Amino acid sequence: MSGFYYFVAEVGGGRLWRELGLDYAFEGPPAQIEVGPDVGPDGRSGMVFTRQSATKLPRPIVWEKSRSGKFWIGWHEANPPGPEDLRNGVSLTAAFTVRLRDERDWLIPLVLPCRQRNPTRECGLPQVYRLSGEADKEGRRGVAEEVTPEYVPLIDEAKQFWTVFKHESQPAIETERVLTFCVHLLQVSYRIGLDEVLALELLDKQIAQAMVLAVIDATERIKSEMPAELASVAEKSGLLPDEGR
């Protein structure tokens, strides 16, 4: 099993991993390993946070400084972490498989299913059973199945992307916005963030755009919602996801 190593140039980190915003990377308090200048990046001594249970790090380690500059991300050079190493245990009821630049297959959820042709098409995001807002004639409340609240913003963002794609044949969307959305898609199933995605060079423009089109169910929407002239442009672009991917 492989994984990421997070280095900070100080010892006795305690809850520092939370202060650095690394909650997404761990299911609980991480293991902490003190390392010397022979292991740390740029000849530095410090503390490494990791999901691994080992007391020392494998060699050699590749280190990349995070965008904030407050920590470094590392991995074993011969064994970069992949999807099988980073799964968080969340199951997806409807998903696409996307091959990233590491030539491995990653899962992303169907976020915005188009139900015009298939009313039973499911949203792949985790859902929860809760009491419904309406009561029957006898005053009894029913059971509703809804997307878990933490994933609702992902649906809102997907709707915004579809609005753009629907009305513009060549949509101009900020690169960081697309990247952030793609990372949020990956985070549904994996313990990974934007820093890690950039460090491993997992995405390019074509892959990112294909991911967005997949999770907004573009193949179905083009057939039922998009104006004919834009549908033709989208189909010729070659960026529509394959069915089942």
Residue range 167-219, pLDDT digits in tens: 765 666 788 999 999 999 999 999 999 999 999 999 999 899 889 989 999 88
Reported pTM? 0.85
For residue 59, the surrounding DSSP H or E stretch is none
Q: Report pLDDT for 240.
A: 45
> What residues does 5 pair with on adjacent strands?
50, 74
Share of the chain above pLDDT 70, in %: 87
Whether pLDDT at 81 is above 60: yes
Q: Report pLDDT for 241.
A: 45
Q: 169 or 24: which carries more pLDDT confidence? A: 24
Q: What is the mean pLDDT of residues 106-127?
A: 90
For residue 132, the surrounding DSSP H or E stretch is strand 127-135
pLDDT in tens, 33-69: 999 999 999 999 999 999 887 778 888 999 999 999 9
Q: At residue 219, what are phi and psi to the nearest 5 degrees?
A: -60, -45
Q: At residue 74, what are phi and psi to the nearest 5 degrees?
A: -130, 160
CA distances from 77 to 200, 203, 216, 220, 230 (A): 11, 19, 35, 41, 45
State the Cα–Cα distance between residues 34 and 73, nearest whole angstrom: 15
Alpha carbon dihedral 153, 209, 164, 225, in 10-degree steps, equals: -100
Highest mean predicted confidence (pLDDT) among 6-15, 64-73, 113-122, 159-168? 64-73
State the Cα–Cα distance between residues 186 and 163, nearest whole angstrom: 22
Residue 27 corresponds to which amino acid?
Answer: E
Q: 167 or 86: which carries more pLDDT confidence? A: 86
The rounded mean pLDDT for the chain is 85
State the Cα–Cα distance between residues 100 and 15, nearest whole angstrom: 33
- Burial degree of 122 (CB within 10 A; 0-12, 13-18, 19+): middle
Q: What is the mean pLDDT of residues 11-34?
A: 84
Q: Report pLDDT for 148.
A: 92
Q: Report pLDDT for 242.
A: 43
Q: Report pLDDT for 137.
A: 80
Range in 83-87, 142-146, 164-168 the model is least confident about: 164-168
Q: Report pLDDT for 239.
A: 40
Q: What is the mean pLDDT of residues 22-33?
A: 91
State the Cα–Cα distance between residues 61 and 24, nearest whole angstrom: 22
147-160 burial, b for 16+ CB within 10 Å, e for fewer?
Answer: beeebeebeebbee
State the Cα–Cα distance between residues 53 and 55, nearest whole angstrom: 7
Q: Report pLDDT for 226.
A: 57
Whether pLDDT at 140 is above 70: yes
